Structure 1
Amino acid sequence: MSDDAADGQQQEAGLTTGEVARRLGVAPTTVRSWDRRYGLGPAGRVGGRHRRWTPLDVALLERMCALTATGVPPAEAARLAQDPSRPAPPPRPAPGGTPADRPAAAARAHAGMRLGDARQECRGLARAALRLDAVALDELLNTAVETYGLVTAWHEILMPTLQAVGRKWESSGERYVEVEHFLSWHVACALRRAAPPVADGLDSGKVLLACVPGENHTLPLEALSAALAQRRIAVRMFGAALPVEALVEAVRRTGPAVVGLWAQSRTTASQPLAQHVADMRWGVRGSRRQAAVMTLGPGWAGKPVGGTLRPPGLAEAVDAVEARVRG
């Protein structure tokens, strides 16, 4: 059966509450609560017991989400969602906002995010982030990682959603900063929850990850650290903007097999620094060792560094580290 045929059958049969929740970016308990409190439940059930949500049912909940995202109280939002002919109240202005700001704020709130062909889960995450719904966001993030695996979830769900939120912020006059910070923190927590503890062993401490000086984008390194932990490879993580002297000293003290240097921007990617780390040697004469340096992130594009590795994505980076550590 083709994917289109399967999707058509699913639409005809209706969606489960969990599937609806993922699409909307809310917790399943929220969907059930709206049904119980405000009568926003599905029109039909399978076998008289199991809820199945039709496209019309989902459209009603989407109106509910859009209204609550602009600050309308849930009870009032439910009444408006069930009677679209009633005018919606003006959205609450941001702190310090003026009445003149309100129409533009409302338009931005309903404009959505440019997610392109990203998975439907991205839209659910984006909606949960816009509402600052911590419970729903954690549930959606955990489900994405458990369902698709950490690497696939990062490439196809988490990263596209983070990028969409970033574009939303940039295109709205630096509004939604709180949404970007909120989503980033919860993504970081989800990545750490997905990383099992790695016991000390032969591979312990052989990988050092850090952002170059001036670079504060740590989430890609968090994803790499978590993916390596799932392969039982321990990491020493130094996080954002590690000063040059501290990076050199950390490499000298730990003698790692691999050093990963993340640069999001071309202005922070330093070829001399990467080359210096790649050229470092330690150990007794006759058996001196050096680290394999990986230049990670878009900042290194067009900035080749001799003798370093340049994996194009998370999956390739994980494989390159494992080959070096256990090869």
Structure 2
Amino acid sequence: MTYTAAEGRYESMRFARCGRSGLRLPAISLGLWHNFGSVDSLENARAMLRRAFDLGITHFDLANNYGPVPGSAEETLGRLLKSDFGAYRDEWVISTKAGYSMWPGPYGDWGSRKSLLASLDQSLRRMGLEYVDIFYSHRPDPETPLEETMGALASAVRAGKALYVGLSRYSPEDTVRAAKILRDLGAPCLIHQTRYHMFERTDEHGLLDTLAQEGIGCIVFSPLAQGLLTDRYLSGLPEDSRAVKSGVFLKPDQITPEKLEKVRALNRLAQARGQSLAQMALAWVLRRPEVTSVLVGASRPEQIADSVGALTYPAFSAEELAAIDAVTLG
């Protein structure tokens, strides 16, 4: 069936300028880390992308290794761009990354110029694109000079294969160094992707201040703590949960009785605000002026709609923020 985007798709989405750039990103962005691989349903992926765009989500985040199998999330997006969304390409911001292992031998990993630029070419072929909007260094490489990694990112911009560049998981100190190199090369750092949620607050003590000072936008991944900050675990550990099925990113031993009691307390605070716990967790991350957007994952379209619903509630009161701190920091 031919897809036509909803006419009112921009009526309720909130957009924010990314750092000091001219680019505005939606408050909610969709990550294709899970559920868009070759082992997943193409029809479900199509339904999720349609729902997201109809709700005003214009930023779609990938990496070369997203799948499974690695690379297949980009292939899925490429198929759906061709069949459904090609007419809307200029309304979309598509990002991808390189830095984790992708092919055998010494050049398919980390942050050398050879690795990053070869990976970007492969990503573009998988997606059927001439350029991506944002190209990230997915992680710092301790054995490659920062000048080489940043030089590769700047080369991608000069070659017209990326409009902007970003960093992921860099320390505040390396972010400052990288930002200076990129400015000097004429390709300023647009955005930094980092993990931040109610139970993970390391960035409140360094990185967020650094990004504000450098004029770099911030996009948060795992704002729901891999599902912990949802109603998924309120009654314990479901057998079909990600923690039980994979145990890779959210391990069963991390979901202690003490942690679950905190999650239930947070859920009561969310209910008092008339929100789901997931909505409150997203709104809590977005309360920070340094945060441009939050990346959400989804396994079905309804979850995307619930996430966008986080934007419809009032700002937190000082009392509400203090109550959240009492639970999460206590």
Q: TM-score, normalised by structure 1?
A: 0.29
Highest RCO, 1 vs 2 (Cα 8 Å, sep ≥ 6) = 2
- Going by fraction, where is helix more abundant, 1 or 2? 1
- Going by fraction, where is strand more abundant, 1 or 2? 2
Q: TM-score, normalised by structure 2?
A: 0.29
- Greater radius of gyration (CA): 1
